[in-house]
Chains A and B, each alone.
Chain A
Amino acid sequence: MQALYEFLTGPALWLTFIIFIGGLLVRAAFYFGLSLERDKIFWDHFNAAWSWRSIYHWLLPWGSLSLRKQPVFGLVFFLFHLCLLGVPIFLGAHNIMWKEYFGWSLPTLPDQLADWGALLLMACVVFLFVRRLVRPEVRILSSLWDYVLLLLTAAPFVTGYLAYHQYNDYMTWLVLHILCSEVLMIIVPFSKLGHLMLFFFTRAFIGTEMGGRRDQYGRLGARTW
């Protein structure tokens, strides 16, 4: 177990970061090149102000009409993303490792709060999972992979939570936690989770296309939020 732990926090961790960040960057570079050739419409009319507005409003809780129309989902949608990114990045235990490796760390969340954050995320995943099953317009779009991906997203939090609380065998949960997290991060650049990065581009496009490009007399253009 110790050897596995060493591997997962050593070479495997490096590899994970390389694939995760490298994968996203390669994808961005490839799409950038492609866009110069086939998405001239994007560059011809690119409008930073409208792009930003289009991004910004979708980052806010209930910042878009779409989410205001489904307030409960809108809230869960926001909390899910908040916990998904916030908890691991600002977790005390993670930052201790940062500090060990690089000599610096980020501000950290109180453990108690991070603990609640993990629970909240799990609750959100349950909600999203059930919603996917129950709402016909979502179910019809969903493939097995969509359900699996959702569970994979929750897995690091479930295992991390159990490890933190030293449920049964701490080491097993810890190893599983690291393994699940690494698997998830490796999947990101190659799946719909790539929206972690592509979100900003597609939103910039639609903001420009329906807003900036149609912005006449400096005050019009259609909102896409």
Chain B
Amino acid sequence: MTEPAEDVQVQETPERDDRPVNVQKIQSILNTNNGARMRSWLDICARCGLCAESCFFYLAHDKDPKLSPAYKVKTTVGEMYKRKGNVDRQFLKDAYEVLWGQCSMCRRCSQFCPFGIDMATMIGVGRAVCNSQGVVPESLAKAVENIRTTGNQMAVSQEDWLETCAWMAEEYGEEVAGLTIPVDVKGAKYMYTVNPREPAYYPQDVGQMAQILHVAEEDWTVPSKGWDCTNLAMFAGNKEVAGYAVKLMYDAAVELGVEQILTTECGHAYRSAAFEGPYFLGLPGGKTPVPVKHAVQLFWEYIVRDGRIKIDPDKKVTVPVTIQDPCNQARSAGLSQMLRELAQALCTDFRDMDPNREYNHCCGGGGGFIPMGAEFKKRRMISGRIKAEQIKATGAEMIIVPCHNCFDQINDLNKEYKLGIKVLSFKEIIVESMIIPEKFIPQEEDEEPEAGPDETGGEE
């Protein structure tokens, strides 16, 4: 069919990848997920189109019907099932564009579907199929590899992690006397876990959290391993490594005998640790070995419920403030009310976005978009227009963003759309405005060469 002279041209199109796919593997993934829910979802979609308006990709692209959630599902996962897994590599590559490039798995469409079809879960199955054939965004594949080899997505060494803790304990201890970051303390109430972004780029996050926990006189610890609560393998569609990532954390908690796992201000990490983890690992009853708490829940308890941390009324934020409801906190974790009560306790002029709470739009950085890096940045900026407009409409000068991925995305949107807004996490605001009790105010006169309780807390 093709003339020999065309050979050169064929080589010029590197996109064309005809390596065979492992159909059996694909079929096995499809089969595992082909339960009553999947069958019902695939069968009863009435093709009513109600989901379209819920999707920020659709809205940001002048209502391109190809970006409606039902269409995205139909042409990817729907087609995989229809063809009983008999798809070729080119099909998977086309699906890749949709599964990773046009969906952040925010789940908003499920709320607008009359049948509540969980389209994000279906997209997740599609991702798993692609991933099984090596069709996956490069940077997510890299993160998966990092988890596999180092136990965290950014390949931060244990040494660096512990050094960051020690350094932050010292640095942030200058403002709060006696501050420590206890490592591997057995039987502590909370085992605090972070996003590797913190030791890698934003160590202050660790320091700020330590200040808050110290002022609240909390019984806490960080583990020397299993400290990464994020789970990019989940977004890569790699269930096996996603399970491994969660297991490291669960094992650390069980080994230390802590009461609860505490996760940092990150959305997907909490969802992975608290809800999806048990299913990656097949734990009975879908239960985590120990309860998992999100930092926002703890802050809410400290500040709103128990008054364990007092906010200085004079230091409350007075500029107009809005809040980003991260999908995996508001929609998929039920924290939206707490987010608001906490924000209102810290600010005098709080303004909600529209829509908000569980109906909030994804920032455009979820579902792996932020770690998917430069390849996807342009799309992220285009689809983020909806979020940028939402923020602008509030007239807020500051936005609280209790999620690392949303944080990066909104920072980028801030530049792209010239929003001129200050982007902060809860930690940063709490640290600035909490009243530090007398006993924790450092005594400046006695300068002891050796710090009091050192960074390695308990002996075990």
Contact = CB atoms under 8 A, between A and B. Distances in A.
A206 B118 contact: yes
B111 A202 contact: no
Nearest to B294: A216
A71 to B, nearest CB: 13
Interface stretch (A41-49, A94-102, A160-168): A41-49
A35 B36 contact: yes
B33 interface: yes
Contacts of A42: 36-37
Interface in A19-65: 31-32, 34-35, 37-42, 44-45, 54, 58, 64-65
A140 to B, nearest CB: 4
A45 B286 contact: yes
B382 interface: no
Interface in A66-98: 66-67, 69-70, 73, 77
Given A65-B112, A138-B49, 14 more contacts: A31-B36, A32-B36, A34-B36, A34-B39, A135-B49, A137-B65, A140-B71, A141-B70, A195-B44, A198-B115, A202-B115, A210-B111, A220-B334, A220-B335
Contacts of A192: 43-47
Interface residues of B, number: 56
A207 interface: yes
Contacts of B115: 195, 198-199, 202-203
Contacts of B452: none
Interface of B: 32-37, 39-41, 43-50, 52-54, 58, 63, 65-66, 68, 70-71, 74, 107, 110-118, 275, 279, 285-287, 297, 330-338, 357-359
B112 A66 contact: yes
Interface in A133-154: 135-143, 146
Interface residues of A, number: 60
Interface in A167-225: 191-192, 194-195, 198-199, 201-203, 205-207, 209-211, 213-217, 219-225
A67 B58 CA distance: 18
Given A38-B32, A135-B49, A141-B49, A222 B65 contact: no
Given A141-B68, A216-B297, A39 B116 contact: no
Interface-centre pick from B52, B63, B74 (highest chain A CB count, 10 A):
B52
The residue among A44, A54, A211, A222 with the most chain B CB atoms within 10 A of its own CB is A222
Contact of B40 (A67, A140, A198, A225): A198
A167 B49 CA distance: 37
Contacts of B46: 192, 195
A69 B332 contact: no
Given A39-B36, A209-B118, A137 B49 contact: yes
Name which of A69, A73, A138, A213 has the most chain B CB atoms within 10 A of its CB: A138
Given A37-B35, A139-B65, A202 B116 contact: yes
B52 A137 contact: yes
B34 A38 contact: yes
A143 B112 CA distance: 22
A221 B23 CA distance: 39
A201 B40 contact: yes
A64 to B, nearest CB: 8
A127 to B, nearest CB: 12
Contact of A140 (B66, B117, B336): B66
Contacts of A37: 35
Nearest to B279: A41
Nearest to B358: A222
